[in-house]
A and B are shown apart, each in its own frame.
Chain A
Amino acid sequence: MALALGTGAILLVVLLWELVRPTFKRAVARGREIWSLRRGASTLSGYDPGRERRAEQRARALLRSCVDERDWAMYRDLGFLRVWGERGRGKRASYAYLIYPHKPIVAYVPQTGALLNEYCVAFPDLSRPYGSSRLPDSDDVLAKWMALTADERRLIADANMHLPGRQVDPGRVRRDLLRLARWERERSVPDPRGTDRAGADPRASSGADTDVRGPDRADTLHA
């Protein structure tokens, strides 16, 4: 009896294996193919999430060591930096910039929140050391910050200027200005370079209906 059952079980297993084998072989072959493709793509692009994460950590440390503690806190908490316009340094600022990683620099009027322009600028490393010319996010922000604070006119002259909304959603910027205003209220330490409404209430005005020309490379900045 036991012998018969054992033989039957073995036969059943063999039959099942014969049925499953073609599917199993196809699945293994497909898996190998996908793995090979992924490996090839990874080699070609050179993208390594772990490496990129470590690069960003280094970049954040470098950014933190270069900017004010207040600016670092702003970037850490809000994800962008504000830089006052050239003419506003040391006195009340008439315009300011928002620096986002790998996005155009946005110029706006702090008093009203009106958006002025977008300045598209990038810092591509053409040597592409790991297959990409793109700096880590925080390095991109630091590069913009250094270029703006060191030579605003030159950076603006090198950038492509567009009206607000070309690449950066104006609604997003206005929300960010509200977040900035709230953030500054919570810190209760107004930036002396700003105004009484340092972050400004962007609902007060929009870029579309303002007649403020802002830091245009062709007139205001070089006037």
Chain B
Amino acid sequence: MKLLRMKPGHGEIMLAEGDVRVPEQERELIEAFRRELDAGMWAAVPTGSPGGRREAELVKSFAEVPREAERVIFFPRAAGGAPGATL
């Protein structure tokens, strides 16, 4: 499993990578996961439904991340408002 974070001026960066079946690696993943949530990030897991439809799932704790998930993507939490320019 990879933990990725979107970053301005860079694109995504990899925060941590490990096998959730290995306790030590899972611990590292959990710590990195908590750090990002504490920093105010949202965490999403890209998923594919049985019909082939791709969606995402927001997770609030590492326990909610599907064990088979390959990636968790962190991104800044949503805030109302946007630039004022007209498209």
Contacts and interface: CB of A to CB of B under 8 A. Distances in A.
A binds B: yes
Interface of A: 46, 48, 51-52, 54-59, 61-62, 65-68, 71, 89, 100, 102-104, 120-136, 139, 142-143, 145-147, 149-151, 154-155, 158-160, 167-169, 172
Contacts of A151: 58
Given A66-B46, A135-B75, A172-B87, A129 B7 contact: yes
Contact of A135 (B44, B76, B79): B76
5 contacts: A55-B8, A136-B6, A147-B58, A168-B86, A169-B87
Contacts of A65: 46
A169 B9 contact: no
| Band of interface residues on B | 20 to 34
B80 A120 contact: yes
Contacts of A155: 78
B11 interface: yes
Given A66-B54, A125-B7, A139-B6, A146 B83 contact: no
Nearest to B44: A146
A147 B78 contact: yes
B54 to A, nearest CB: 5
Contacts of A130: 8-10
Contacts of B68: none
Given A68-B54, A167-B86, A168-B87, A128 B80 contact: no
A199 B12 CA distance: 32
B23 interface: no
Contacts, number: 148
A123 B78 contact: yes
B69 interface: no
Nearest to A134: B8
A59 B10 CA distance: 8
B78 A121 contact: yes
A103 B82 contact: yes
A90 to B, nearest CB: 8
Given A103-B87, A146-B58, A147-B58, A58 B12 contact: yes
A160 B77 CA distance: 14
A124 B76 contact: yes
Given A68-B53, A135-B75, A167 B7 contact: no
Contacts of A57: 11
Contacts of B75: 123, 135, 139, 142-143, 146
A136 B54 CA distance: 22
Interface in B51-80: 52-58, 73, 75-80
Contacts of A103: 82-83, 87
A146 B73 contact: yes
B8 A122 contact: no
Contacts of A133: 8, 76
Contacts of B58: 146-147, 150-151, 154
A71 B54 CA distance: 10
